[in-house]
Amino acid sequence: MVVKLHFEPLVECSGLTIEDYPVWIHQHWESIHRGLQQGYYCPLPVKRVEIPKPNGGIRLLGIPSVHDRVIQQAITQVL
């Protein structure tokens, strides 16, 4: 059985979408960069989503914010 899931565009509680991210990051890069270099960057809590399983159970999924996901990917590529 294949279940097709419909996802809304990812919008954080602040209203930030991946489309808005380039403008937002340019406005905030100085403080973000400083936080990353000095070790005090703190990611936001993940959004918890329940995905139904075919057997009737649920699978818990954690979705990080757009900004945290971009930062995680950048760090992964550098390392």
- Per-residue confidence at 60, pLDDT binned at 50, 70, 90? very high
Average pLDDT of the residues in 21-34? 88
- Domain membership of residue 27 (yes or no) is yes
> 43: domain range?
21-78
Q: Which residue has the higher pLDDT, 72 or 5?
A: 72
- Domain membership of residue 16 (yes or no) is no
Q: Which two tokens stand for residue 35?
A: 């936080």
Is the pLDDT at 40 greater than 80? The verdict is yes
pTM score, two decimals?
Answer: 0.64
Domain count, the chain: 1
CB 32 within 8 A of CB 25: yes
- Domain membership of residue 14 (yes or no) is no
Q: Which residue has the higher pLDDT, 4 or 50?
A: 50
- Domain membership of residue 1 (yes or no) is no
List all residues 6 or more positions away from 76 whose beta carbon is below 8 Å from its beta carbon. Answer: none
Would strands 47-52 and 58-63 be described as parallel, antiparallel, or unpaired? antiparallel
- Domain membership of residue 15 (yes or no) is no
